[in-house]
Chain A
Amino acid sequence: MNIEAAIAARNEFRIGEVAIRFEGPLGIISGPRMGSTGPARVASDDLRELVRTDDHGRYRPLPGARTMPGGWEVRCHSADELLDAIDAIYPLALRHIGQHERGELRVIPLDEVLRRQSGRYAVAASLGVEGRKAACNTLCGRCVRTPVWCEAALPPGGIPCPEPCSVLVSLCREAALWDTSPPAPSAPVAGLPFARFDIPGNEVRETYLADRAGAPLAGSPSLNATALPGDDALVG
Chain B
Amino acid sequence: MSRALVLAGHGSHLDPASSRPVHDHAARLRARGAFDEVHVAFWKEEPALSRILDAVDADDVTIVPVFISDGYFVREVVPREAGLSGPVSCVLGKLVRYTRPVGSNPALADVIVQRALEAGAGPSTGIAVLGHGTPRNPGSERNVLFHTELVSKQNRFVAVAAVFLEQEPDMRGVFGLLDTREIVMVPLFVAEGWHVGVSIPEDMAIDRGELRRGGRTLRYSAPVGTHPLVTGIIEELAVAAAAWR
Interface residues, chain A, with chain B CB atoms under 8 Å away: 48, 52-53, 59, 61, 63, 91-92, 95-96, 99, 106, 108, 113, 116, 118-119, 162-163, 165-167, 170, 193-196
A92 touches B47 (CB 8 A): yes
Instruction: Give CA–CA (A170, B14) in the complex, Å.
Output: 12
Contacts A92-B54, A196-B14 known; list 8 others, CB within 8 Å.
A53-B16, A59-B16, A61-B14, A63-B46, A92-B46, A106-B92, A163-B51, A193-B14
Q: Which of A53, A61, A63, A195 has the most CB of B within 10 A?
A: A61
25 A–B pairs (Cβ distance < 8 Å), ordered by A: A59-B15, A61-B13, A61-B14, A92-B46, A92-B47, A92-B51, A92-B54, A95-B55, A96-B54, A99-B54, A106-B54, A108-B50, A113-B50, A116-B80, A116-B81, A118-B77, A163-B48, A163-B51, A165-B46, A166-B43, A166-B44, A166-B45, A193-B14, A194-B13, A196-B14
Instruction: Give CA–CA (A52, B13) in the complex, Å.
Output: 11
Using C-beta atoms within 8 Å of the partner chain, give the interface range for chain B: 20 to 34
Instruction: Give CA–CA (A63, B80) in the complex, Å.
Output: 23
Distance in angstroms from A100 CB to nearest chain B CB is 11
Given known A-B contacts A52-B16, A92-B55, A163 and B50 have beta carbons under 8 A apart: yes
Distance in angstroms from B140 CB to nearest chain A CB is 13
Interface residues of B in 111-129 (CB under 8 A from A): none
Residues of chain A contacted by B12 (CB below 8 angstroms): 61
Instruction: Give CA–CA (A176, B55) in the complex, Å.
Output: 32
Grouping DSSP codes into helix (H, G, I), strand (E, B) and loop, the A interface class, with mixed when no group exceeds half, is loop
Given known A-B contacts A96-B54, A118-B76, A166 and B15 have beta carbons under 8 A apart: no
Q: Which of B50, B77, B81 has the most CB of A within 10 A?
A: B50
Indicate with 1 or 0, residue by residue over B66-85, a CB within 8 angstroms of chain A CB atoms. Answer: 00000010001100110000
B13 touches A195 (CB 8 A): yes
Interface residues, chain B, with chain A CB atoms under 8 Å away: 12-16, 23, 43-48, 50-51, 54-55, 72, 76-77, 80-81, 92
Distance in angstroms from A183 CB to nearest chain B CB is 19
Q: Which of B12, B47, B51, B92 has the most CB of A within 10 A?
A: B51
Distance in angstroms from A113 CB to nearest chain B CB is 8
B23 touches A48 (CB 8 A): yes
Residues of chain B contacted by A52 (CB below 8 angstroms): 16
Q: Which of B13, B23, B81 has the most CB of A within 10 A?
A: B13
Distance in angstroms from A105 CB to nearest chain B CB is 9
Distance in angstroms from B8 CB to nearest chain A CB is 14
A165 touches B48 (CB 8 A): yes
* A60 closest partner in B (C-beta): B16
Distance in angstroms from B218 CB to nearest chain A CB is 30
Residues of chain B contacted by A116 (CB below 8 angstroms): 80-81
* B77 closest partner in A (C-beta): A118
Instruction: Give CA–CA (A57, B76) in the complex, Å.
Output: 34
A166 touches B51 (CB 8 A): no
Residues of chain B contacted by A119 (CB below 8 angstroms): 72, 77
Closest 6 CB pairs of A and B: A195-B13, A61-B13, A91-B47, A91-B46, A52-B16, A59-B16
Instruction: Give CA–CA (A92, B6) in the complex, Å.
Output: 14
* B20 closest partner in A (C-beta): A49
